[in-house]
Amino acid sequence: MSETHPTAAGGSPVTEPSYAHGTSPTLLLGDTIGANLARTVAARPGREALVDVPSGRRWTYAEFAADVEQLAYALLASGVAKGDRVGIWAINCPEWVLVQYATARVGAIMVNINPAYRTHEAEYVLNQAGISLLFASLGHKSSDYRAMVEEVRGRCPRLRETVYIGDPGWAAFTARGTADRREELLAREAELSCDDPINIQYTSGTTGFPKGATLSHHNILNNGFFVGELVAYTEEDRICIPVPFYHCFGMVMGNLAATSHGACMVIPAPSFEPKATLEAVEQERCTSLYGVPTMFIAELNLPGFADHDLSTLRTGIMAGSPCPVEVMKRVVAEMHMEEVSICYGMTETSPVSLQTRRDDDLEHRTGTVGRVLPHLEVKVVDPATGVTQPRGVPGELCTRGYSVMLGYWEEPEKTAEAVDAGRWMHTGDLATMREDGYVEIVGRIKDMIIRGGENIYPREVEEFLYGHPKIRDVQVVGVPHERYGEEVLACVIAHDPADPLTLEELRAYCEGRLAHYKIPSRLRLLESFPMTVSGKVRKVQLREDATREG
């Protein structure tokens, strides 16, 4: 059936604005995280809640709730008050999850600290958030967390205690939690509101220090719940979570989506390892797998990939950056993830605002980031004027609703720059809303390349270049140019390093198929891309490295 458009008084068609809101017969949850967990435990005490594949440890929901409660008692015994900031600087492990739910039960604000941080960044976060109690891993890869904490401790006056996971100190700390604290815990929980701040996540700023996005029970519990609803989670689901807990992808879309549906959280490794991930899916019969596209690319290209039995998978979530068409085809066909979902969001919106649906076709899963979630609003505005654009016209994507953060911790001016008077969160992403309400991300406002006055969206060029047989992965960035202001650089990981792509081959492939100004004038061959801990490519570093090398 063709769509008809109303006409204005003068006879010209009236275009639909780039605005959409999500309706749903399923109501928002009014619970705190602790109360929601209690509902799940009461309904499914014997179901498996958490599996740590590296250590072989397992918890049913009843066992998980008991350990969360004991840790909550220990927090009370240690003098943790409602609103106190409790830091967690750790790789993925069961203790991370226990801290997440125990702090929520006592009303403390858990502060996620990026495991990749070094002393300078960690010291800033410890002081800016006013962390009084810190849980930390002993170490991971090149990071010795104990040594780093000792180095900065004297410059962090609010930090009174550090508990190391994997050290006897963890057991000693949890042993403080005794059942005679039960009445105190119940009294504390009775004081809590679902609108209380419960989590601070530091967004990785490209300039200056990161900002602490402050999120409530209501923000993250509902976001995790509705993400889980849209992939149809039930107590039968087992979610493999190789993405970091310190980020919303792990702790909200993973953990809270699981516990709000009685599903099982599966930890394949302390940090992402493609082989460990596939082994965990096979061993634990996972039905859902998470990752950013580069993680799925690494899994699909793993020697022996086809030897893993992934037939139990039905769904999963891909987020963080756009998924190339060819990768999505393989994920659906070879990983059995017919119902895989694409999610889009940002830390400041808890995180997901847009998501594809289970029955969306390949084009919608690769060409868009889905449509608005239930109970949220999105719009696309002119970045200069703030006026809502007509559908099909690019502009800045904005989100409003239950998911928008309370603000940046103790930074009201920066909060006001991001969240306007109408409570719209400005994402900084350039987007286009289609007639059907699905949204395409065309780039970051700051990543857009302006070459000789022409706007170039890197995503469009990347998607085209993925079709070249010699290219396994590609990132397109703008680098300074004396005449044009910027020129287009393609950073390429080759399928076969022994048969590298040349700039001449690349340009010949583009000739006549891309506008001349979009064709890369420079090529860098790389073995890997610089990544954030959450699995996003650091385009800023690609630009800086190329500019420095000339």
Q: 466 with 474: CB under 8 angstroms?
A: yes
> Residue 484's pLDDT is what?
85
How many domains does the chain divide into? 2
Is 95 within a domain?
A: yes
Is 424 within a domain?
A: no
Residue 296: count of CB within 10 angstroms of its CB: 25
Instruction: Say how many Å lie between the first and final Cα of the chain, rounded.
Output: 55
| Rounded CA separation 181/77 (Å) | 8
Is 353 within a domain?
A: no
Is 453 within a domain?
A: yes
Residue 299: count of CB within 10 angstroms of its CB: 25
| Rounded CA separation 176/74 (Å) | 5
> Residue 454's pLDDT is what?
82
- Kindly report the pTM of this predicted structure: 0.86
Which of 57, 61, 59, 58 has the alpha carbon at shortest distance from 46?
61
Q: 499 with 438: CB under 8 angstroms?
A: no
Q: Which residues contact 333 (CB under 8 A, 6 or more apart)?
A: none
Q: 487 with 478: CB under 8 angstroms?
A: yes
Q: Which of 154, 177, 193 is the last residue of a domain?
A: 193
Beta pairing partners, 239: 265, 288
Q: What residues in the chain have per-residue pLDDT under 50? A: 1-5, 7-8, 206-207
Strands 315-318 and 139-140: unpaired
Q: Which helix (H) or strand (E) holds 327?
A: helix 325-334
Cβ burial 320-329 (10 Å sphere, 16+ → b, else e): bbbbbbebbe
Which amino acid appears at position 492 of this protein? V
- How far apart, in Å, are the Cα atoms of 117 and each of 122, 202, 346, 548? 6, 11, 20, 24
| Rounded CA separation 488/503 (Å) | 12
Which amino acid appears at position 543 of this protein? R
Cβ burial 242-262 (10 Å sphere, 16+ → b, else e): bbbbbbbbbbbbbbbbbbbbb
> Residue 492's pLDDT is what?
97
Q: What CATH number should be reported for the domain holding residue 69? A: 3.40.50.980
- Compute the C-alpha angle 81/97/185, nearest 5°: 35
> Residue 393's pLDDT is what?
95
Is 222 within a domain?
A: no
Q: What CATH number should be reported for the domain holding residue 461? A: 3.30.300.30
Q: 56 with 267: CB under 8 angstroms?
A: no
Q: Which of 193, 228, 248 is the last residue of a domain?
A: 193
- Compute the C-alpha angle 131/186/111, nearest 5°: 20
Is 261 within a domain?
A: no
Q: Which of 156, 178, 193 is the last residue of a domain?
A: 193
Helices (H), 4-82: 33-43, 61-77
Cβ burial 424-460 (10 Å sphere, 16+ → b, else e): bbbbebbbbbeeebbbbbbbbeebbbebeeeebbbbb
> Residue 4's pLDDT is what?
42
> Residue 204's pLDDT is what?
64
Residue 166: count of CB within 10 angstroms of its CB: 13
> Residue 391's pLDDT is what?
98
Q: 428 with 446: CB under 8 angstroms?
A: yes
What range defines the domain where residue 483 resides? 447-549
Which of 260, 184, 272 has the alpha carbon at shortest distance from 222?
260
Is 504 within a domain?
A: yes
Is 394 within a domain?
A: no
- Compute the C-alpha angle 149/154/158, nearest 5°: 85
